[in-house]
Amino acid sequence: RKEVEQDPGPFNVPEGATVAFNCTYSNSASQSFFWYRQDCRKEPKLLMSVYSSGNEDGRFTAQLNRASQYISLLIRDSKLSDSATYLCVVRGGAGNMLTFGGGTRLMVKP
């Protein structure tokens, strides 16, 4: 079983749609949680951290459920520029490393 699992997609949605991504992690000792965005042939860039209380940044809302070891990302009013791969990332365990999920690809169409 992978440490961080995501549906690879792709999710094809029209502009303006709301789309949700999910992620599960296996290490219950994980301490920090993030969503990163990676464009094709580029490095990953931090989108937002994820907290149990839920956090929102503009059109993006992230949620963490520690009991279920489940992380979500909601994107409202999708833009063409949101097309990218979204990586669920978990920090914790020995060495406090970042562990990346396989990513979920989003394609927003006009």
> Is the link from the previous residue into 14 a cis peptide, with omega within 30 of 0?
no
Pick 9 or 17: Cβ nearer another protein:
9
- Give the Å distances, CA to CA, from 55 to 3, 41, 49: 23, 29, 8
93 lines the binding site for another protein (CB under 8 A)? no
Pick 84 or 101: Cβ nearer another protein:
101
Stretch that binds another protein, among 14-22, 61-69, 70-78, 98-106 (CB under 8 A): 98-106
- The rounded distance, in Å, linking the Cα atoms of 103 and 90 is 13
Return the residue of 18, 20, 45, 51 that touches another protein, per CB under 8 A: 45
